[in-house]
Structure 1
Amino acid sequence: MTASATAPTSLVLVRHGESVGNVAATRAEREGALVVDVATRDADTPLSERGREQAAALGAWLAALPPDERPEVVWCSPYVRTLETARIALDAAGTDLPLRQDERLRDRELGILDRLTWRGVLDRYPEEAERRRHLGKMYHRPPGGESWADVALRLRAALGDLQRRDAGRRVLVVVHDAVVMLLRYVLEELTEDEIMTVAREQSVRNVSVTRLDRVQDGWRLVVFDDVSHLAALDAAITEHEGTADTGG
């Protein structure tokens, strides 16, 4: 039996749509605030209106894929924003795929730094900010939280189950930005320097698509952080904002 026969044929990694937490974090950074104003716990933070529109656009993209490229099963973080993204997309695509929730696919936990902006970390925990700078993103574990290495460890376990359960299938995985990065780190067998270079050069945008295909000796990256399926939605929003700005 070949290696590819014991694993999914492809993994389509999607970050959730814009959440109300993303909106609040952007506002907090713009205003120089110390704390992100979000009332819900991280796991319960829902999509924004724009996030729901993005998820529907993802569904239209899924529906337009050739039959031999469409996902056959979905694995999803159990957080509200990821589940909403998956369910809205599947509904828009007119498909009812099996959806498996797995807590090992959840977002990175930040512990005492949760909801703080970088200014907030410097103000409230200056020693922790220095420790983070010294250790780097891969190995810094805030009290009560996780390092990137911690997340990678649980992802390795989740991937083991995913590969056994859905061997030979095309799998859609709806998760979070750091999780997409770390799935690349694990699947492509990257080094710390290599994944940190990727993280510095390119973010994982909301509802972006990253695809890896199974090959004989591992996984091959096909596309990373692709948001071309949002072009029509973004153009419509830009046009609306332009009209509002001119008062027309």
Structure 2
Amino acid sequence: MKWPTSVTLVRHAESAYNELRQKKREDSLYDAFLKAFELDHRSPEARRLALEVKDRYTLDFSDFEMPLTEAGRNQARITGKHLHEVISPPDVIFYSPYRRTCDTLTEICGEWPGLKNVRMIEEDRIREQEHGLALLYNDRRVMHVLHPEQKELRDLLGPYWYQQPQGESVSQVRDRARAVITMLIRECAGQRVLMITHHLMILSWRANIERLTPAEFIRLDAEEEPVNCGITHYEGNPSAGNDGKLELKFYNKKLY
């Protein structure tokens, strides 16, 4: 079989940005901003509220340096404590170089000591989508009010093809995932692989392995977004296809 024996993808634990998103959802200011945005994203009121949201919800981290919250560390510890119950010990671990993925791996290894002897490889191609200019606002809609032509471009192209300024489109992240799949076929056939990665990379992996269309990809993102420390697991089936096949066994499993 040309494929790994198994591939397990784990999303990083809760980060400061994930916590920020939840706080915004519970804030009346943000609710008022969303209503103004839907009414007219070019209006003076939408701009005033966008600036207030930006000031209230600024993070002093780059996406690369985004830390875990204490709740996130606890998610990772519990996941590490029980991960051996749902997967076999991996032969190799690939991890994104971002701080939140590295810290998630550290916490998991602390609860599953046997992982410390496994070969670990930092792989920058499994990082999160590059957000470019949007990172300065920590919110796509805020950026679109302050740069309205970007909203109009996204509306024209759709969320799959739209490329954030100085960032990436969803399709470009999916291209990175294709490159990683090729690498695993070349270097990890017959091995058990564990990846500590990000939301959009997990969706890109599924889209590539399962041959999802752009529309199916966006639906999956909207309706079944990967959860923090969610586990997605594929097993190789040597009898499927000409050279075997990876088959999805479970998606978004939480152990905490």
Please state which band the TM-score falls in when normalised by the shorter chain: 0.7 to 0.9
Whichever residue aligns with residue 37 of structure 1, its letter is T
Whichever residue aligns with residue 30 of structure 1, its letter is E
Instruction: Give CA deviations for 1:4-36 in whole Å, capped at 9, x if unaligned.
Output: 2x2211111110000112112322443322364
Out of 185, 205, 218, the position equivalent to 1:163 is 185
In 1: Cα distance, 2:191 partner to 2:144 partner: 46
In 1: Cα distance, 2:195 partner to 2:54 partner: 33
Percent identity, aligned pairs only?
Answer: 29
| 2:4/2:185 contact within 8 Å kept | yes
Structure 1 unmatched runs, 5+? 231-248
| 2:134/2:140 contact within 8 Å kept | no
Q: Does 1:213 align with 2:209?
A: no
2:12 aligns with 16
Structure 2 unmatched runs, 5+? 31-52
Whichever residue aligns with residue 160 of structure 2, its letter is M
In 2: Cα distance, 1:83 partner to 1:213 partner: 25
In 2: Cα distance, 1:226 partner to 1:60 partner: 14
2:251 aligns with 224
Out of 133, 150, 156, the position equivalent to 1:112 is 133
In 1: Cα distance, 2:147 partner to 2:105 partner: 36
| 1:181/1:199 contact within 8 Å kept | yes
| 1:44/1:80 contact within 8 Å kept | yes
| 2:130/2:168 contact within 8 Å kept | yes
TM-score normalized with structure 1 length = 0.84
RMSD over aligned Cα, in angstroms? 1.7
1:238 aligns with none
Instruction: Give CA deviations for 1:128-177 in whole Å, capped at 9, x if unaligned.
Output: 11211221221100110100111111221122222322211111111111
Deviates more, 1:135-144 or 1:28-37: 28-37
2:95 aligns with 76
| 1:188/1:219 contact within 8 Å kept | no
Count the aligned residue pairs. Answer: 223
Whichever residue aligns with residue 84 of structure 1, its letter is D
TM-score normalized with structure 2 length = 0.81
